[in-house]
Amino acid sequence: MIQAATEKTAIEQLLFTYRDALNASDVSQVLPLYTADGVFMPAAAPTSVGREQVKGAYEFVFNTIQLNIEFYIDEIVVNGDYAFARTTSKGSTLIHASGATVPEKNRELFVLHKEGGTWRIARYMFNKMK
Q: What mean pLDDT comes out for the span 21-42?
A: 97
pLDDT at residue number 5: 82
Residue 60 sits in a domain whose CATH number is: 3.10.450.50
The closest alpha carbon to 53, from 41, 43, 65, belongs to 41
The pLDDT tens digits of the residues spanning 96-122 come to 999 999 999 999 999 999 999 999 999
Cα–Cα distance for residue pair 106/81, rounded to 1 Å: 26
pLDDT band at residue 8, thresholds of 50, 70 and 90? very high
Which residues touch 89 (CB under 8 Å, ≥6 apart)?
A: 19, 69, 70, 71, 72, 104, 105, 106, 107, 108, 126
The pLDDT tens digits of the residues spanning 39-96 come to 999 988 899 999 999 999 999 999 999 999 999 999 999 999 999 999 999 999 999 9
Looking at the whole model, is its pTM more than 0.85?
Answer: yes
pLDDT band at residue 2, thresholds of 50, 70 and 90? low
pLDDT band at residue 1, thresholds of 50, 70 and 90? low
pLDDT at residue number 130: 72
Domain count, the chain: 1
Angle at 113 between CA 6 and CA 85, to 5 degrees: 65
Q: Which domain holds residue 30?
A: 2-128
